Amino acid sequence: MSTLGIYSIKTIFEGDINFSDDFSSEANDTSPAAIQIYDLVLGPNTITCPLSPSGTFPIAALILLPINNALNITLKGVAGDVGILLSPIAPFIISLNDVASFVLDAEDAISGVRIIFI
């Protein structure tokens, strides 16, 4: 059995510039539809992307950090990368293309990081 997965992002500006638009992904008709909770340790944490029942990787990962998190996380392709420093409080989505894993490098231990694989 397969699961359809789609994600969208809504952008709104109000004030000097007024703008609103929705941006949606392509449909992933073989989404793993997995929600996993991780307890990150200090340093690099390899996140393995779950496969769908048909053996395909997710098209995206939505990462939700705990409320009131103040610790930095750096997104990396592999442990040795310099990476990209991410907001410690805002949710973020990573678009993926046949990615088996990625690394979240934590400033310190962070419990309860929720990742939704689409």
Is pLDDT at 116 greater than 70 in this prediction?
yes
Which pLDDT band holds residue 107 (cuts at 50, 70, 90)?
very high
Question: Is 59 a domain residue?
Answer: yes
Residue (of 3, 57, 68) closest to 29 by Cα position: 3
Question: Is 113 a domain residue?
Answer: yes
Question: Is 89 a domain residue?
Answer: yes
- The pLDDT, as a whole number, for residue 1 is 63
Please give the tally of structural domains in the chain: 1
Quote the domain boundaries for residue 108.
31-117
Specify the higher pLDDT residue, 116 or 1: 116
Extract the tokens encoding 75: 């997104």
Please give the backbone phi and psi of residue 11, each rounded to the nearest 5 degrees, phi first. -115, 130
Is pLDDT at 51 greater than 70 in this prediction?
yes
